[in-house]
Amino acid sequence: MSAALLSVRDLRVHFKVRGEGGLFPQHRTLKAVDGVTFDLQPGETLGIVGESGCGKSTLARALLNLIPATSGDIAWMGRDMKGASRDDWQQVRRSVQMVFQDPLASLNPRMNVAQIIGEPLRTHQPQLPGDEVLRQVKEMLGRVGLSETHLYRYPHEFSGGQCQRIGIARALILKPRLIVCDEPVSALDVSIQAQIINLLQDLQRELGLALIFIAHDLAVVKHVSQRILVMYLGRTMEIAPKQALYADPKHPYTRALLSAVPLADPRRERAKAIQVLPSELPSPLDPPSGCVFRTRCPQAFERCPREVPPLLEAGASRAACWLYG
């Protein structure tokens, strides 16, 4: 296996939250990301899935130091980023770009398409002459399925799908090695979702990009990802190659998420048992002891509240569950 593009070890992002009460309120700790470990190989797509509030977006931002990590290690292209300076992170951000959830909100409404897509070039390569910036912007517009007629229009003149294409063009203009896509299709119609996912896959094949693709359900990441990491309350519940995860999910939480994914075969879909998770997602300010999933787990037993399960071998997967290992 080639050297990892990204290595993450035991990454934690904790926030101090001011508690209630009087003059001297107690501060509490919100564990948004709590001990996540994974590697990403060049050209690979890792899907990260979990309910809203499970820490996926915080994890994505911490990988780029947009939110500082509380502890743990991040190595980009073999380079340990512990103690890295602003300039060091700036260099990393040339190779790693983000695509955001709300395509319209992520584009500056006062800038036209040429300015939006060209902005990263002007920031990171200020020596480039204006006509070269424009040439590269036009080339990138073509790659994402837009045309030169769109160059001088403003974001409000485009549909959600077109805005996301503009966001992808902006992310690609610096020729990154990885794009972190934070729920890039969840604000779009289903038919447009498919177009954007197909576009990302085509670009990945063409440019050898790696992708981290964040979504809140397993149906969306199925077609894009080679491996999938399932998160719950800031922790990894399961990480597995795609085929293994969809054919034989190991963690009870993964099984519950998968049972909600519609099947293409109507007969199998009608016969399928949907597993409804009991109770609400617990507050990350007050997570359950031991296994954080235990308050909703149909298979919880006496060990689960007492000890936090590490990731344990479970066939081709690794699952944080005492049913294995």
- Applying CB under 6 A, the residues found at the interface with ligand SF4 are 252, 291, 293-294, 297, 299-300, 304, 309, 321-323
Q: Which is nearer to ligand SF4, 117 or 304 (CB)?
A: 304
- Whole-number minimum distance, CB 243 to ligand SF4, in Å? 22
DSSP 157: G
- C-beta of 35 vs 120, nearer to ligand SF4: 35
**For ligand SF4, the closer CB: 203 or 291:** 291
Token representation of residue 3: 């050297």
- Nearer to ligand SF4 by Cβ, of 50 and 309: the residue is 309
3-state secondary structure of 276: coil
Which of 169, 218 has the CB closer to ligand SF4? 218
Minimal distance, residue 38 CB to ligand SF4, in Å: 19
**For helices 190-207 and 160-172, angle between their N-to-C axes, nearest 10 degrees:** 20
CB 303 to ligand SF4: min, Å: 7
Cβ neighbours for 131, distance < 8 A, ≥ 6 positions apart: none
Do residues 197 and 215 touch, judged by C-beta distance below 8 A? no
| Contact between residue 180 and residue 212 where contact means Cβ atoms under 8 Å apart | yes
Measure the CA–CA gap between 173 and 175, rounded to whole angstroms.
5
Query: Closest distance between ligand SF4 and the C-beta of residue 312, in Å?
Result: 9
Q: How far is the CB of 297 from ligand SF4 (least distance, A)?
A: 3
- Rounded to 5 degrees, what are φ and ψ at 230? -105, 125
Task: Report residue 182 CA to chain centroid gap.
Answer: 5
Q: Quick one: 158 or 293, whose CB is closer to ligand SF4?
A: 293
Contact by Cβ (8 Å): 181, 221: no
For residue 274, the minimal CB distance to ligand SF4 (Å) is: 19
Burial class of 219 by CB neighbour count within 10 A (0 to 12, 13 to 18, 19+): middle
- Measured CA to CA in angstroms, residue 316 lies from 71, 105, 196, 246 at distances of 29, 40, 30, 12
CB of 260 to ligand SF4, least distance (A): 17
Q: Shortest Cβ distance from residue 284 to ligand SF4 (Å)?
A: 17
- Give 3-state DSSP helix, strand, coil % of the chain, rounded to 5: 35, 25, 45
Complex with ligand SF4: residue 222 or 251, whichever CB lies closer: 251
For residues 291 and 278, what is the distance between their CA atoms, to the nearest angstrom?
16
Nearer to ligand SF4, 62 or 291 (CB): 291
Both tokens of 48, joined, read: 């990260």
